[in-house]
Structure 1
């Protein structure tokens, strides 16, 4: 492995790309620690539902909402804008036509995505600032530096404008960093920023694990990390990573055959190939949607219970529902979580995978699936296969998603530690790592070198 790493840095072009990527990621991490001047503290010690919400979002937002920095919003507004346009592109005719215009249409969609990103940043940064204003102290200004307050005790409106502008520009700058990595570095820039934000939480999680660990047997007691708990966590982590790698690379290969045609005295075509369909076609989107949607009802019910007061007849049912939906170790929470993951798996797959379009492309290229006539029968077959493998992918995502909640709920391990045993963070880290390795491999193979994973089972996808 060290020899392969040496080869990477011995190739001038590849070395330049890798060093540029590392430098841009370093800039991202430096800006991550530059706080807004008008903020006196961070909200990481707020506790309660808000603290848990920020801790979950931190794992896949490439940011830390518990600290008001210039990159406080992270890259999530850009991802939200991209998802919105991807969804609209399936139901809004003008955007659907724009997607079919090739490179020109893609540039226009990217331009619209940037505009929507700025709008989302302005709204989110303003709401985030207002939440911080009301989060601490009796007057609701516990997180604001007194030097920036107006005469009435609130943050001066000019500084509110500056804070919103700085956080918006921070996200736009991160979006530009990602584009520079795409163009001049190596790997997918936005994905690498997210992975860097996830991996940056590991030292803190490991420190917290070591600090709370006891060098004695605790009988797997909840809230106590003993020797057997540590062994269980290590075994569980290895098993989850193995499963994530297997399913991420898993494919259903459908055999195809091209039609024969004659030109002059030569016969062309007739070759056998395969059409790869990913088992986890939806990626991490179902977990992101499900976890985000599941947080909202619990917070709303808890807020309504506080609003109606303890003397009201509605207080107990609302409070019970809120506590149940916020309890990650409860059966009801995990049941709703799994149901939402299955729903969004099929929903996202239906948006991103079009069997009719794929069937038409096969027919236009003179390729067919043996045993199925081109057209409707091929479309129905592709749809049936995708429904079946999506069920497997959804079941896998459900298992990976609830592992952190089980570890957090049953063992009492802090969520900053349990979050690395599954869920969105681990899926993103593994997927981006494989994508980065494949791009480096393409440069090595082009120069007649062996790939990073060659000889270790790399590049071979499990077939279902």
Structure 2
């Protein structure tokens, strides 16, 4: 297996380049912002660890590749870029100018990406300013620098530059590395936290079936974590590899006395066309109402409505889970609408002399492909929501800590498996292009569920 990879210099360079940029990301992850008393910051964050604020910061770190609890250069992670991408993907069907740019192909895509970068800078400045004001109000800055505008500006500039650098790393991995750079950065952040989750599980594990101490993880909870781990891994593989295969027929061509064509083939349509992106987008978007309502509740301590909304959008609550499922469905359909073009696919089938049996080429074929894609996207989004929400909801009801539940049977595990599968498929496609049997050897190619 490895000799096939190392026998292709170009693939080795791509993998080495990707690995090198991921190492740079992990180095920058530990560079502190200037002026902050790191000992006081760590002490404050340890006090907030079991509270709602600490859980929110852990949740933010899970899906952004950053860690505000450490207040380092990459503290904001890639979240501003993800937020800007969501905004522009939502605006493309609404704003005619952006829709026109999208139809221009690669040139229009680069222009939209340029606007996304500008929006990322604006979001970074806002979020970094809010975080530096929070640190100042909590007296986490050295007393000699208290009230210093220079330290505030350096912190805002450092957080903004860190996010832009992460955005640049992701784009470089896309262009010169193995690809899927943003997802790989998020996965690298999750993998780096995995040993901490395993260590906490070992420290809290108990072989007693029931325990009066709620901090202990008894035998029933351990069995649930094992079952959730198997369920999420198997479900992730199934949903990422599942296909709906549309039979297509090649038209026959007669040249002289010979008849060419007429072969029957299949058009594979992925059940989960958006991959893990609906979960990343939904999770990133749900961070905002939780942080907003809790911040407003702190400003207005006596307002019961704000306190109720803050609790409703907290991790594990019923309202939060319902909103999470709704956003997964929304982004699954939205991603399919943006990426899947039934009319273009119908025109390509017609131009290459293929057709779907029983359907005329053109509008009827495009309508059929769109109808099929809507149905399988519904199934894919539903299954994605089940494997993302059910284990975490049960874990929250059983009192399993968020850090352990998310890594060993929740969304973090789902993202790791999905991104790892995509990485293996990219390596496999590079091997197959050069007449090798694939990443798993001869006959071991990763296949869809019906191949």
Give the structure-2-normalised TM-score.
0.87
Aligned to 1:145: 142
Q: Does 1:276 align with 2:268?
A: yes
C-alpha contact 2:406 2:412 (8 A) present in aligned 1: yes
Structure 2 counterpart SS, 1:72: coil
Residues in 1 aligned to 2:299 and 2:425: alpha-carbon distance in whole angstroms: 53
Residues in 1 aligned to 2:188 and 2:154: alpha-carbon distance in whole angstroms: 27
Give the structure-1-normalised TM-score.
0.85
Per-residue CA shift, 1:375-420, capped at 9, x if unaligned? 3332332232122212211221221221343243122111111112
Structure 1 residues 263 and 96: CA distance shift in structure 2, 3 A: farther
Aligned to 2:405: 418
Aligned to 1:192: 184
Residues in 2 aligned to 1:65 and 1:300: alpha-carbon distance in whole angstroms: 16
C-alpha contact 1:402 1:422 (8 A) present in aligned 2: no
* Aligned-residue offset at 1:12: 4.2
Per-residue CA shift, 1:209-244, capped at 9, x if unaligned? 111112433379854212342233123202210111
Per-residue CA shift, 1:137-191, capped at 9, x if unaligned? xxxxx22122322xxxx2x222222212122221222222223333433243222
Aligned to 1:65: 68
Instruction: Tell me whether 421-430 or 235-244 shows the greater mean CA deviation.
Output: 421-430
* Aligned-residue offset at 1:263: 5.5
* Aligned-residue offset at 1:267: 4.4
Structure 1 residues 130 and 363: CA distance shift in structure 2, 3 A: farther
Aligned to 2:79: 76
Aligned to 2:45: 44
Per-residue CA shift, 1:76-96, capped at 9, x if unaligned? 222333333333333333333
Residues in 1 aligned to 2:84 and 2:318: alpha-carbon distance in whole angstroms: 33
Aligned to 2:311: 323
Per-residue CA shift, 1:329-375, capped at 9, x if unaligned? x4444344334433443344334334334334433443221112233
Aligned to 1:442: 429
Instruction: Tell me whether 353-362 or 369-378 shows the greater mean CA deviation.
Output: 353-362
CA-atom RMSD in angstroms: 3.0
Aligned to 1:55: 58
Residues in 1 aligned to 2:410 and 2:229: alpha-carbon distance in whole angstroms: 12
* Aligned-residue offset at 1:126: 1.7
Instruction: Tell me whether 400-409 or 284-293 shows the greater mean CA deviation.
Output: 284-293
Alignment of 1:347-386 (within 5 A): 347-386=334-373
Residues in 2 aligned to 1:51 and 1:130: alpha-carbon distance in whole angstroms: 18
C-alpha contact 1:214 1:225 (8 A) present in aligned 2: yes
- Paired residues, number: 445
Q: Does 1:85 align with 2:88?
A: yes
Aligned to 1:459: 446
Residues in 2 aligned to 1:77 and 1:300: alpha-carbon distance in whole angstroms: 16
* Aligned-residue offset at 1:425: 2.6
Structure 1 residues 384 and 446: CA distance shift in structure 2, 3 A: closer
Residues in 2 aligned to 1:33 and 1:426: alpha-carbon distance in whole angstroms: 24
Structure 2 counterpart SS, 1:144: coil
Residues in 2 aligned to 1:316 and 1:7: alpha-carbon distance in whole angstroms: 63
Aligned to 1:139: none
* Aligned-residue offset at 1:15: 3.3
Aligned to 2:136: 133
* Aligned-residue offset at 1:105: 3.2
